[in-house]
């Protein structure tokens, strides 16, 4: 770390400019916000703005050594003290201010750089020229669904600025191979619109920030994982095939699982989200939000789970942090004062499609104990349930009243708290090696608790904003942010009116998820009108692709071990050569370092021009050899453009896999 004082001050780390400050171009401004946040269900839209900026023009270096520098930035009565400390792997910035305002930090930027990360940003990988809102929010909007249904031919994909994120993260990586991460819980905006500066604005003073500079993206990832550890994992049984999304009760679930096994598919689990009951609404078949087994749909569930497990099929369930109004658990938690409240003392209800639910107060020790011991351990794990979707987490209202804490400051952290409680319950039960859960919402820190995330609710189509293609940018940006293990619902979830999946979409999505850490399908909100894995035309592809995924188990385990070091499981085409100028395709990806996948994301496409990265490659299915550059690849259903490195240590394994 080096501080240069010349007509102002400039700080360098590893000979790279971190910031510069002069009285006319200050590093910090104090901000007065006018906060207006519109809420509909769990969807938040930014309506606020900074109404006054006060440049902190004065700077005073309080102390300076090789490893630590303390600087006070000031204007009038407003001051901010920043302590810069050089650690082993990064530079830390610690913030301290008694001023009641927000702050903006202005870092140098470069016209030719790309900006990646910011958590789960769906629309595009490169965020240069965009603004990223730092607010956990529902991703799915009603309006785009309605437009697709009513005006399908006129529908235009939504822009980045129109799409929210379940899992924003205040971690960003530049193609110049530096990174900035803020430890801040409040609402904010990270602005990359200007070619020469990146501006990070927050409604409150951040606790700290981390600045990194390395030679490779991989080194950046490893250093970020030393700042926030990645503890993602999968039980060994998850690598043995596909987890079927299936509903209907004991008989139907058992019949479908056995049918798939008899057909030759590798099935490692059945995910029965309506294990607690089904609630049919105008939107479709939804889960009854009361987290105990529905004994009419699943009588003697413990015995059923044991019987399925003998055949290698594990049972997965579903929970979320809400309880349906007037359900047994809602009434119990209401009487025990465990639910989130309004300012008038009444229960704060949220609406999911057509029904109301109360929110578990995750700051209440009694609620946390009930969630861990009654819901997770007794009602699920004790039955033999070894996996579950821990859904939602993004709906905490900013004007609610909690047992402890400020909801405005806890809103972004709420999904991390939700994940932490679930992780603690599994660890307390001693089942870390055999049981897991998956989440959709998150924030910085989720990678320490969520075993694996999924990309949330996609539309059942090929649209680039909400359909199958958006999985790739979302996964890339999560990986750059430090959350390394991600998967998606095979086939998507959102389905209304004519918006439904056919066999082609399901197969193409299944192809993509074959080459991902976890292969799991979803029946959608309308199972009866959407194509499923056991449809006559799809079944042979399900058999082939689940067998391939299972045979890839040694490689996938290796990729997941690398995730613990902070290395993303899925990464863009330029990640390994560290050269953003070589970027060719927003939707092709490395799975690990040795498999390159170019998913088919257009309806009816049977040939694709694929640009292969550096190295010699073998087509995964034909075993034909290819070199770097453009190649026209045939891609019939069930045979996507997938390649492996000729010199990979896993090449013998890949060569042995045939269809």
Same domain, 72 and 116: yes
Same domain, 31 and 58: yes
CA distance 323 to 359: 7
Same domain, 67 and 196: yes
Same domain, 593 and 488: no
Give the residue among 71, 51, 55 at the shortest CA–CA distance from 63: 71
CA distance 554 to 527: 33
Q: What are the distances in angstroms from CA 7 to CA 25, 144, 212, 605?
A: 11, 52, 26, 60
Task: Indicate the DSSP class of residue 515.
Answer: T
Q: What is the pLDDT of residues 51-86, one digit of tens each?
A: 999 999 999 999 999 999 999 999 999 999 999 999
**586 lies in which domain range?**
580-656
Percent of residues, the chain, with pLDDT higher than 70: 98
The domain boundary residue, chosen from 199, 227, 255:
227
Same domain, 92 and 63: yes
Task: Indicate the DSSP class of residue 378.
Answer: I
Domain count, the chain: 3
Q: Specify if 70 maps to a domain.
A: yes
Give the residue among 421, 332, 413, 309 at the shortest CA–CA distance from 376: 421
Average pLDDT over residues 586-596: 98
Same domain, 466 and 510: yes
Q: What is the pLDDT of residues 351-365, one digit of tens each?
A: 887 899 999 999 999
User: The domain spanning residue 132 has which CATH number?
Assistant: 2.60.40.1760
542's torsion region: left (phi>0), alpha (psi -120 to 50) or beta? alpha
DSSP SS3 for 11? strand
Q: What is the mean pLDDT of the chain?
A: 96
β strands within 501-606, DSSP E: 520-521, 570-572, 589-591, 595-597
User: The domain spanning residue 519 has which CATH number?
Assistant: 3.20.20.80
CA distance 120 to 332: 36
- Check residue 476 and give its pLDDT: 98
CA distance 391 to 454: 10
Q: Specify if 532 maps to a domain.
A: yes
Same domain, 591 and 550: no
CA angle 248, 251, 252 (to 5 degrees): 45
444's torsion region: left (phi>0), alpha (psi -120 to 50) or beta? beta
Q: Specify if 474 maps to a domain.
A: yes
Q: Are strands 43-46 and 37-40 parallel, antiparallel or unpaired?
A: antiparallel
Q: What is the pLDDT of residues 88-132, one digit of tens each?
A: 999 999 999 999 999 999 999 999 999 999 999 999 999 999 999
The pLDDT-based confidence of 564 (bands split at 50, 70, 90) is very high
Q: Specify if 465 maps to a domain.
A: yes
Structure tokens at 571: 């990464």
pTM for the whole structure:
0.97
Q: Specify if 604 maps to a domain.
A: yes
| Least-confidence region, from 145-154, 176-185, 343-352 | 145-154
| Least-confidence region, from 136-145, 244-253, 312-321 | 136-145
Same domain, 40 and 165: yes
| 479 burial type by CB count under 10 A (0-12 exposed, 13-18 middle, 19+ buried) | buried
CA distance 393 to 391: 7
State which H helix or E strand residue 465 sits in: none
Q: What is the pLDDT of residues 192-241, one digit of tens each?
A: 999 999 999 999 999 999 999 999 999 999 999 999 999 999 999 999 99
The pLDDT-based confidence of 39 (bands split at 50, 70, 90) is low
CA distance 626 to 634: 13
Same domain, 536 and 449: yes
Q: Are strands 278-281 and 284-287 parallel, antiparallel or unpaired?
A: antiparallel
């Amino acid at each position: 770390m080096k501080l240069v004082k010349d007509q102002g001050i400039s700080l360098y780390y590893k000979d790279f400019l971190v910031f510069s400050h002069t009285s006319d171009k200050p590093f910090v401004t104090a901000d007065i916000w006018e906060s207006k946040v519109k809420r509909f269900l769990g969807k938040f839209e930014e309506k606020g703005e900074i109404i006054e900026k006060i440049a902190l023009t004065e700077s005073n270096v309080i102390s300076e050594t090789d490893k630590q520098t303390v600087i006070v930035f000031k204007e009038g009565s407003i001051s901010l003290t920043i302590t810069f400390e050089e650690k082993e792997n990064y530079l830390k910035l610690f913030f301290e201010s008694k001023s009641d305002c927000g702050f903006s930090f202005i870092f140098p930027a470069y016209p030719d750089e790309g900006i990646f990360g910011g958590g789960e940003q769906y629309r595009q990988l490169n965020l240069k020229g965009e603004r990223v809102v730092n607010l956990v929010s529902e991703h799915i909007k009603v309006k785009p669904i309605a437009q697709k249904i009513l005006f399908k031919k006129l529908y235009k994909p939504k822009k980045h600025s129109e799409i929210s994120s379940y899992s924003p993260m205040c971690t960003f990586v530049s193609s110049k191979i530096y990174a900035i991460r803020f430890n801040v819980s409040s609402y904010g905006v990270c602005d990359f619109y200007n070619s020469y500066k990146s501006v990070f604005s927050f409604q409150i003073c951040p606790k700290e920030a981390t600045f990194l500079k390395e030679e490779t993206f991989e080194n950046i990832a490893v250093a970020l994982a030393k700042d926030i550890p990645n503890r993602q994992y999968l039980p060994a049984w998850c690598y043995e095939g596909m987890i079927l999304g299936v509903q209907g009760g004991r008989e139907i679930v058992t019949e479908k699982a056995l049918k798939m096994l008899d057909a030759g598919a590798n099935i490692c689990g059945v995910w029965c989200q309506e294990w607690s009951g089904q609630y049919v609404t105008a939107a479709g078949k939804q889960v009854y939000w009361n987290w105990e087994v529905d004994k009419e749909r699943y009588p003697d569930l413990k015995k059923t789970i044991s019987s399925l497990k003998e055949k290698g099929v594990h049972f997965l369930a579903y929970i979320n942090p809400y309880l349906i109004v007037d359900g047994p658990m809602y009434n119990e938690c209401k009487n025990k004062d465990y639910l989130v409240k309004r300012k008038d003392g009444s229960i704060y209800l949220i609406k999911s499609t057509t029904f109301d639910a109360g929110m578990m107060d995750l700051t209440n020790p009694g609620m946390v104990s009930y969630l861990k011991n009654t819901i997770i351990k007794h009602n699920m794990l004790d039955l033999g349930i070894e996996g579950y979707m821990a859904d939602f987490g993004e709906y905490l209202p900013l004007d609610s009243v909690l047992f402890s804490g400020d909801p405005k400051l806890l809103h972004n952290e709420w999904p991390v708290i939700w994940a932490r409680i679930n992780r603690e319950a599994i660890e307390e039960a001693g089942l870390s090696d055999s049981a897991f859960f998956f989440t959709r919402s998150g924030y910085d820190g989720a990678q320490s608790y969520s075993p694996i995330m999924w990309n949330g609710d996609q539309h059942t189509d090929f649209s680039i904003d909400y359909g199958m293609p958006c999985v790739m940018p979302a996964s890339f940006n999560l990986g750059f942010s430090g959350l390394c293990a991600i998967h998606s619902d095979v086939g998507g979830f959102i389905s209304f009116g004519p918006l439904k999946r056919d066999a082609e979409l399901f197969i193409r999505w299944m192809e993509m998820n074959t080459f991902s850490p976890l292969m799991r399908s979803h029946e959608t909100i309308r199972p009866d009108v959407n194509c499923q894995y056991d449809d006559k035309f799809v079944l042979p592809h399900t058999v082939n692709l689940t067998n391939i995924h299972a045979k890839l188990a040694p490689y996938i385990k290796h990729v997941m071990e690398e995730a613990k070091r902070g290395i993303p499981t899925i990464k863009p085409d330029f990640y390994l050569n560290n050269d953003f100028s070589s970027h060719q395709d927003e939707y092709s990806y490395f799975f690990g370092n040795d498999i390159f996948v170019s998913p088919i994301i257009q309806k009816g496409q049977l040939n694709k021009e694929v640009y292969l990265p550096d190295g010699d490659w073998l087509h995964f299915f034909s075993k034909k050899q290819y070199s770097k550059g453009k190649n026209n690849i045939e891609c019939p259903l069930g045979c996507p453009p997938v390649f492996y490195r000729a010199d990979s240590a896993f090449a013998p394994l890949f060569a042995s896999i045939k269809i």
